Amino acid sequence: MKLGELGILMFGEIEADFKFDYSEAKGSCTIRYGFPNSDKRSNVEFEAKIIHLSLFPAFAHVSKEKVSRYLIQEFQKNKHQTFERFIDEGKANTQKRNSENQFEFDGENW
């Protein structure tokens, strides 16, 4: 974590361990998510990827790649739902900004 130029607390990446249990597989995983290499790029996007996946022995025959895709899909779905909730609660501003972090106006609602 670091304090950004505008006094905003910024974080790069987080690694979190999760346990999962769904109809096709059961096990644990580590997901790395956040804004990687934010110092090196001016425009970064939120990323999430599974860096470790372990299936319980009863599910050893299941494709780890398939499980990984499913878990990331569920993670992304939850991320979008959370962001939509933040927008609805007025905790996130989705208005476009330029490279100096100033709001951009498209000519409507002046």
Cβ contacts of residue 94 below 8 Å, gap of 6+? 87
Structure tokens given for 44 = 């970064």
Give the predicted TM-score (pTM) of the model: 0.71
Q: What is the pLDDT of residues 32-68, one digit of tens each?
A: 998 876 555 566 678 999 999 999 999 999 999 999 9
What is the Cα–Cα distance from 33 to 47, expressed in whole angstroms? 5
Q: Which of 50, 12, 47, 60 is nearest to 30 (CA)?
A: 50
Q: Where are the domains of the chain?
A: 2-88
